[in-house]
Amino acid sequence: MLNAAAAYLETLPDIPPVFVDYLPDQPDECVGLFCWDYIAPSMADGSATRFVQIRVRAKTWSRAMDACARLTSALDSGANETPLPIDWPGGVIGRTRRLPVLMDRDSQTVTVYSEVSLWGTTS
Protein backbone atom coordinates (compact mmCIF):
# COMPACT_ATOMS: atom_id res chain seq x y z
CA MET A 1 0.00 0.00 0.00
CA LEU A 2 2.86 2.43 0.68
CA ASN A 3 4.02 2.19 -2.93
CA ALA A 4 0.49 3.00 -4.11
CA ALA A 5 0.30 5.94 -1.68
CA ALA A 6 3.71 7.20 -2.85
CA ALA A 7 2.58 7.03 -6.48
CA TYR A 8 -0.53 9.04 -5.60
CA LEU A 9 1.43 11.67 -3.63
CA GLU A 10 3.86 12.18 -6.51
CA THR A 11 0.92 13.29 -8.69
CA LEU A 12 0.34 16.29 -6.40
CA PRO A 13 1.82 19.63 -7.51
CA ASP A 14 5.15 20.85 -6.08
CA ILE A 15 5.95 17.67 -4.13
CA PRO A 16 9.56 16.46 -3.98
CA PRO A 17 10.40 12.82 -4.86
CA VAL A 18 8.71 10.26 -2.58
CA PHE A 19 10.61 7.23 -1.27
CA VAL A 20 9.22 4.21 0.59
CA ASP A 21 10.90 2.94 3.77
CA TYR A 22 13.91 5.25 3.55
CA LEU A 23 14.97 8.88 3.18
CA PRO A 24 18.12 9.04 1.03
CA ASP A 25 21.00 11.44 1.65
CA GLN A 26 20.26 13.14 -1.67
CA PRO A 27 18.33 15.05 -2.93
CA ASP A 28 18.14 17.69 -0.20
CA GLU A 29 14.37 17.95 -0.72
CA CYS A 30 12.50 14.64 -0.58
CA VAL A 31 9.76 12.68 1.17
CA GLY A 32 9.90 9.31 2.93
CA LEU A 33 6.95 7.09 3.85
CA PHE A 34 7.57 4.64 6.69
CA CYS A 35 5.13 1.99 7.97
CA TRP A 36 5.91 1.81 11.69
CA ASP A 37 3.06 -0.54 12.64
CA TYR A 38 0.53 -2.83 10.98
CA ILE A 39 -2.60 -4.13 12.70
CA ALA A 40 -5.03 -6.69 11.27
CA PRO A 41 -8.34 -7.27 13.08
CA SER A 42 -8.81 -10.53 14.97
CA MET A 43 -11.88 -11.41 12.88
CA ALA A 44 -9.71 -11.67 9.71
CA ASP A 45 -11.91 -9.72 7.32
CA GLY A 46 -9.08 -9.08 4.84
CA SER A 47 -8.38 -5.55 6.04
CA ALA A 48 -5.58 -3.97 8.04
CA THR A 49 -4.52 -0.60 9.38
CA ARG A 50 -1.06 0.68 8.56
CA PHE A 51 0.42 3.41 10.71
CA VAL A 52 2.53 5.59 8.44
CA GLN A 53 5.07 8.28 9.21
CA ILE A 54 5.53 10.96 6.54
CA ARG A 55 8.99 12.57 6.67
CA VAL A 56 9.74 15.64 4.58
CA ARG A 57 13.22 17.08 4.25
CA ALA A 58 13.63 20.52 2.69
CA LYS A 59 16.05 23.42 2.67
CA THR A 60 13.84 25.59 4.89
CA TRP A 61 11.49 24.90 7.79
CA SER A 62 8.57 26.61 6.03
CA ARG A 63 8.98 24.50 2.85
CA ALA A 64 9.20 21.28 4.88
CA MET A 65 6.18 22.16 7.03
CA ASP A 66 4.10 23.22 4.03
CA ALA A 67 4.86 20.06 2.04
CA CYS A 68 4.27 17.81 5.06
CA ALA A 69 0.95 19.50 5.87
CA ARG A 70 -0.22 19.12 2.26
CA LEU A 71 0.79 15.45 2.16
CA THR A 72 -0.91 14.74 5.48
CA SER A 73 -4.07 16.45 4.27
CA ALA A 74 -3.95 14.49 1.00
CA LEU A 75 -3.91 11.23 2.99
CA ASP A 76 -6.85 12.18 5.24
CA SER A 77 -10.31 10.98 4.20
CA GLY A 78 -12.09 13.61 6.27
CA ALA A 79 -15.12 13.28 8.52
CA ASN A 80 -17.11 11.49 5.81
CA GLU A 81 -14.33 8.88 5.35
CA THR A 82 -14.15 9.47 1.62
CA PRO A 83 -11.91 6.81 0.03
CA LEU A 84 -8.54 8.19 -1.07
CA PRO A 85 -7.72 8.23 -4.80
CA ILE A 86 -5.06 5.54 -4.33
CA ASP A 87 -4.81 2.68 -6.79
CA TRP A 88 -5.46 -0.09 -4.25
CA PRO A 89 -8.05 -2.89 -4.31
CA GLY A 90 -11.11 -2.15 -2.20
CA GLY A 91 -10.27 1.47 -1.41
CA VAL A 92 -8.24 3.15 1.32
CA ILE A 93 -9.43 5.34 4.20
CA GLY A 94 -6.87 7.66 5.79
CA ARG A 95 -6.88 9.51 9.12
CA THR A 96 -4.42 12.07 10.47
CA ARG A 97 -2.82 10.95 13.74
CA ARG A 98 -0.16 13.63 14.20
CA LEU A 99 0.21 17.00 12.48
CA PRO A 100 3.67 18.03 11.21
CA VAL A 101 6.36 18.61 13.84
CA LEU A 102 10.10 19.20 13.70
CA MET A 103 12.19 16.03 13.62
CA ASP A 104 15.73 17.14 12.73
CA ARG A 105 17.67 20.20 11.63
CA ASP A 106 21.21 20.57 10.31
CA SER A 107 23.11 23.37 8.61
CA GLN A 108 21.61 22.61 5.17
CA THR A 109 18.16 21.04 5.70
CA VAL A 110 15.18 20.63 8.00
CA THR A 111 13.20 17.40 8.43
CA VAL A 112 9.64 17.37 9.74
CA TYR A 113 7.25 14.47 10.13
CA SER A 114 3.58 13.68 10.59
CA GLU A 115 1.63 10.46 11.06
CA VAL A 116 -1.44 9.00 9.37
CA SER A 117 -3.25 5.70 9.58
CA LEU A 118 -4.31 4.02 6.34
CA TRP A 119 -7.02 1.37 6.47
CA GLY A 120 -7.65 -0.97 3.54
CA THR A 121 -7.36 -4.50 2.29
CA THR A 122 -4.22 -6.48 3.02
CA SER A 123 -3.45 -7.39 -0.61
Query: Could you report the per-residue pLDDT of 1-49, keeping only the tens digit for each?
Result: 999 999 999 999 999 999 999 999 999 999 999 999 988 887 778 888 9
Maximum alpha-carbon separation in the chain: 50
Separation CA 76–CA 95 (nearest Å): 5
Domain that residue 52 falls in: 2-121
How many CB atoms sit inside 10 A of residue 88's CB? Answer: 18
Q: Specify the number of domains making up the chain.
A: 1
In terms of DSSP H, where are the helices of the chain?
A: 2-9, 61-74
Stated pTM of the model:
0.93
pLDDT at 122: 78
Where residue 99 sits, what CATH number does that domain have?
A: 3.30.2000.10
